[in-house]
Amino acid sequence: MGADTHDPHALESRLVSTGAERLALLGKHAEALMAGYTRDEVPLAALSEAALRKLLAARILWRPDEQGGVKLAPKVRELIAEMLADESRRHVNADVAETLELLRSLVQSYREARDLGEHWRQEQHLLRLRQEVDDLNGRFADAIDSLWQRLNSDFGFVSRLNDKIRENDRAQKQIVRLLDGLALIDFDELIELVGSDGALRKLLISQLQQQLSQHYTGLREVQRRLIELMARFRQQQSRSRLVAGMAAFLREHPGFVPGNYARRSEVPALVNRATPLTAAAAPALDRHLDVKVLTELLHRLPAPPHKPQTVTAAGPAEAQEASLVAARQQALKQDVERFYLTVIDHDGEALSALAYLRASDMAWTDEIWLFQVIAEFQGLPRGEQCAFRLHQEESQASPFNHLRLIHDVHLQLALPA
């Protein structure tokens, strides 16, 4: 017996057989259970003594007290209400705090099994984690679906304004409870909890975050629909009140005849509510009188101020400065080309660019000279680049900065082997 307790296959087999037996009980006595769902108690006439004992032992039925009758267990009643989408008895439980505590415990057990190399326990804990996350998402999805069902049933077919307001308040409170539950899920905590484990990060970070964003979107749509239906109902209620008031007035005054208010010199303030209309007009260009009037109006329009923009050519100083810059660039390029020719003359001997610069007494700075040598090498065609070997003498800027600083460049001719 003790060996079976620790045998995973025996445990799984026992769970499957027990579950199948109790599901079979639900199917075998379905009519009696549904009769108990619709009534206060389960009719015992449809059940034998042996069947009643099995249903009580399986916790499908329960007896609140010795004098009372047998009733459905609360979980079974919720299961039937969930399958039938019976909103009057359907209770959505999205207890996020308890689920998060269970997830933390399962993650710790998973990590302990992983560290000890117990792969079967690790897989079992990961399976439990997947099931708990699926159950959490399922509860939120069921809650949002319950809200939509309420909008299409209770909220949509209530005729009185007070009942409509109460239904709206009930739905808004459930939305607030769901949003509070979603706010309990702290992804910074989950990231720290799962660490670098890829399976846990995929389950508890990426997938859960994507599913929660869908839940937030669904709740926003439900709230928008609630506000829209409430505004529409208030408009219908105001119109129906106006019609009902007019009908009551006509019943009290059967000889009332509405007057022609358009022909009265003094219109009552209650009727005279419309703002005056501004007649739309357009000029008719095919009429000679309109063309004449439009021409006069155009001549009376003030002339727009016009400030011509003067375009000045570059002065001789600017042109001279530009030519000096171009001349310096050309001179630098020619000096670098002479350095390359010197490298070719040395028959494979590596030459330092800074040593050549100082030996030639040129006025270029070290940074500009090295930059132009490297740029000249990179600007060569691929075939000509293979004829040279460029070695950069560089170092890392600091232990915390991976920037490479170039101190010198050595160039040599690549001789054929």
pLDDT tens over the chain, length 417 residues: 444 445 666 767 777 888 788 788 778 888 888 877 777 678 777 788 888 888 888 878 877 666 667 777 767 777 777 677 655 555 555 568 888 888 888 898 898 888 888 888 888 888 888 888 887 887 788 788 878 877 776 665 666 767 777 777 788 888 888 888 888 888 888 888 888 888 888 888 888 888 889 888 988 888 888 888 778 777 877 888 888 888 999 899 888 887 776 777 777 777 667 777 777 777 776 777 777 777 788 778 887 665 555 555 555 666 777 788 888 888 888 898 888 888 887 777 888 988 988 888 888 888 888 888 988 888 888 878 888 888 888 888 888 888 888 889 899 887 765
User: Is the Cβ–Cβ distance between 125 and 116 less than 8 Å?
Assistant: no
User: Is the Cβ–Cβ distance between 370 and 353 less than 8 Å?
Assistant: yes
Partnered with residue 401 across adjacent β-strands are 398
Q: How far is CA 403 from CA 24, 391, 397, in A?
A: 71, 17, 5
- Please give the model's pTM, rounded to 2 decimal places: 0.44
Spatial distance between the Cα atoms of 252 and 246, rounded to a whole number of angstroms: 10
Specify the pLDDT at position 269: 75
User: Is the Cβ–Cβ distance between 336 and 373 less than 8 Å?
Assistant: yes
User: Is the Cβ–Cβ distance between 125 and 113 less than 8 Å?
Assistant: yes
Partnered with residue 413 across adjacent β-strands are 388
Exposed / middle / buried, residue 188 (Cβ in 10 Å: 0-12, 13-18, 19+):
exposed
Beta-carbon contacts of residue 6 (< 8 Å; ≥ 6 apart): none
Specify the pLDDT at position 325: 82
Beta-carbon contacts of residue 300 (< 8 Å; ≥ 6 apart): none
Specify the pLDDT at position 140: 84
